[in-house]
């Protein structure tokens, strides 16, 4: 098969021929249609974050395709079925997996980090973790459901628990934030999207934000937000990963409001404990998406309530993959995907 191989940080991906993978016990072989390029891939290639398995390795964890072959003991699919692979999956046995929090698994398996991923023509995956895709969803664009949409979906539905009529603040409308906007609007929230970039604010509007705000000219974000959202946010999402924006998001909460931290921030932040107590406010985090939550998400995409086509702003072939990575480095578009044929 043709594949783009990661050979080490700071080097371009090597597009080359590799032996076809063989599905093991309970696994299926998937002929890949498309694979999204994510900031996590850049963290391996550019920022020296180590992959869980030593390179050489095929990166890519937003994978859609068709079943090509069933390995021994694999069931539940027929050759040719359209499928989506979850970006990560759990062992099914640890205390987190057993309590339905597979995204916190101690033995997490991550496509394109702990095993070969989707920047290739073929990949193998355990049949039990593979998700069927309805014909209503375009197969190539469907790849972005894994991670780019599933991470926001989990944050909105399970961690932020956005309900019909909630006032929702989203700070940062990059690849994750823009889909928090979309999923929160689909859940019936009145969404205020905050981003410095006009293109991001425009995308947020088109994906369901009722209000958008450029924070650059704003003196007190909390006052402005409480004006627009009449009293403040019931749920505020921070999707950048900065101390100042996490603190700002918390300051915009209404009484009883909930801050959901989705951006990764290594710094310590300062939040007023008195407000958490006196206003019954909550602070939660959100990481990835348990495989079980992909199923209702796929239904929402099939029903057109959550859209994937507008998220795919550029497509490259496998041979052009390094150009696709460059587009992400330059911050172009919402999602760049690699299409195999």
Residues that bind Zn ion in the complex, under the rule CB under 5 A: 38, 40, 90-91, 94, 97, 105, 147
Give the integer Cα–Cα distance in Å for 286 and 213: 24
Give the integer Cα–Cα distance in Å for 206 and 89: 32
Give min distance, CB of 84 to Zn ion, in A: 13
Nearest residue (CB) to Zn ion, 87 versus 254: 87
Q: How many angstroms from the chain centroid is the CA of residue 277?
A: 32
Give min distance, CB of 175 to Zn ion, in A: 8
Give min distance, CB of 24 to Zn ion, in A: 19
Nearest residue (CB) to Zn ion, 91 versus 283: 91
Strands 109-110 and 63-70: unpaired
Give min distance, CB of 206 to Zn ion, in A: 22
Nearest 10 degrees: CA dihedral of 93, 97, 102, 105? -60
Nearest residue (CB) to Zn ion, 105 versus 137: 105
Give min distance, CB of 99 to Zn ion, in A: 10
Closest by Cα among 175, 180, 147 to 306: 180
Give the integer Cα–Cα distance in Å for 209 and 211: 5
Nearest residue (CB) to Zn ion, 99 versus 216: 99
Residue 113's alpha-carbon distances to 12, 14, 39, 43, 255, in angstroms, are 16, 16, 13, 11, 41
Give min distance, CB of 338 to Zn ion, in A: 13
Nearest residue (CB) to Zn ion, 251 versus 291: 291
Residue 332's alpha-carbon distances to 148, 198, 201, in angstroms, are 15, 13, 14
223: Cβ–Cβ under 8 A, 6 or more apart, which residues? none
Nearest residue (CB) to Zn ion, 147 versus 195: 147
Question: Which residue number has the CB closest to Zn ion?
Answer: 38
């Amino acid at each position: 098969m043709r594949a783009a191989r990661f050979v080490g940080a700071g080097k371009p991906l090597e597009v080359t021929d590799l032996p076809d993978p063989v599905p093991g016990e309970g696994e299926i072989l998937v002929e890949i249609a498309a694979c999204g390029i994510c900031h996590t891939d850049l963290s391996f290639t550019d920022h020296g974050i180590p992959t869980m398995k030593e390179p050489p390795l095929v990166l890519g964890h937003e994978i859609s395709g068709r079943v090509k072959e069933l390995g021994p003991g694999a069931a539940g699919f027929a050759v040719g079925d359209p499928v989506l692979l979850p970006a990560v999956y759990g062992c099914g046995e640890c205390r987190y997996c057993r309590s339905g929090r597979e995204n916190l698994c101690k033995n997490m398996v991550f496509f394109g980090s702990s095993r070969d991923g989707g920047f290739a023509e073929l990949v193998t995956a355990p049949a039990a973790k593979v998700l069927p895709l309805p014909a209503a969803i375009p197969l190539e664009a469907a790849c972005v459901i894994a991670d780019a949409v599933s991470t926001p979906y989990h944050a909105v539905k399970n961690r932020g628990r956005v309900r019909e009529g909630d006032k929702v603040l989203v700070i940062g409308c990059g690849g994750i934030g823009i889909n928090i906007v979309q999923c929160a609007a689909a859940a019936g929230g009145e969404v205020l999207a905050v981003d410095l970039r006009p293109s991001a604010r425009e995308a947020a509007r088109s994906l369901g934000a009722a209000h958008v705000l450029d924070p650059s000219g704003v003196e007190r974000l909390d006052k402005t937000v409480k004006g627009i959202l009449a009293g403040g946010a019931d749920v505020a999402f921070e999707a950048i990963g900065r101390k100042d924006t996490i603190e700002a998001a918390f300051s915009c909460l209404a009484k009883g409001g909930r801050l959901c931290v989705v951006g990764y921030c290594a710094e310590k932040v300062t939040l007023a404990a008195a407000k958490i107590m006196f206003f019954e406010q909550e602070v939660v985090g959100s990481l990835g998406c348990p495989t079980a939550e992909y199923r209702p998400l796929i239904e929402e995409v099939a029903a057109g309530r959550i859209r994937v086509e507008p998220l795919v702003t550029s497509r490259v072939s496998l041979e052009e993959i390094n150009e696709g990575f460059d587009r992400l480095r330059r911050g172009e578009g919402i999602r760049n995907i690699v299409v195999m044929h």
